Amino acid sequence: MSLFLERRLEFEFIQKNILLILLALGSGGAWLFLTFRGASGKSGLSPTQATMLINREDAQIIDVRGADEYAGGHLPDSRNIPLEQLEARVEELDKLKNTPLILVCQTGMRAVNACRQLEKLGFTKANNLSGGIAGWRAAGLPLRKGAKK
């Protein structure tokens, strides 16, 4: 087969499948972007990083899950403010505007939304725990059970 014919067949393949090729490139790019930057536009904290932030900078932990989820197991010394109540209860956190905050949920997704809400309200050091309680548990770190604080 001649080089010209091979190039022509390649071009025809690309023309016929351009939408699939663009879809594959777009989804791959989005996956890479979210993997390296985090869903919130910044990387979440790993359990190890969160532990260091708690120990070194006295970071405060805010658990944005519901009360039942919280009672089933939460990070030691965390405060429970469910995501749907966060804006209404933000005055409880006003004195922490410049304190490192670690927002926690079950998998990390609600915590990303909580970070965004708090950043809009002027909290400068809001971070989400990447992987949430599930990631914390997988890292073998302690959880406490019982009613909310």
What CATH number was assigned to the domain covering residues 47-138? 3.40.250.10
pLDDT confidence of residue 148: 55
C-alpha–C-alpha distance, residues 89 and 107, integer Å: 22
What are the structural domain ranges in the chain?
3-37, 47-138
Place of tokens 């009613």: 147
pTM above 0.75, yes or no: no
Place of tokens 């989005």: 30
- Output the average pLDDT for the chain: 87
pLDDT at 88 over 90: yes
Spacing of C-alpha 94 from chain mean position = 22
* pLDDT (average), residues 25-42: 67
pLDDT digits (tens, 9 = 90+) for 103-141: 999 998 999 999 999 999 999 999 999 999 999 999 999
Helical ranges in the chain per DSSP H: 3-16, 18-37, 47-57, 67-72, 109-120, 132-138
Report residue 120 as tokens.
Answer: 């809009």
Cβ neighbors of 137 (< 8 A, separation 6 or more) are 73, 143
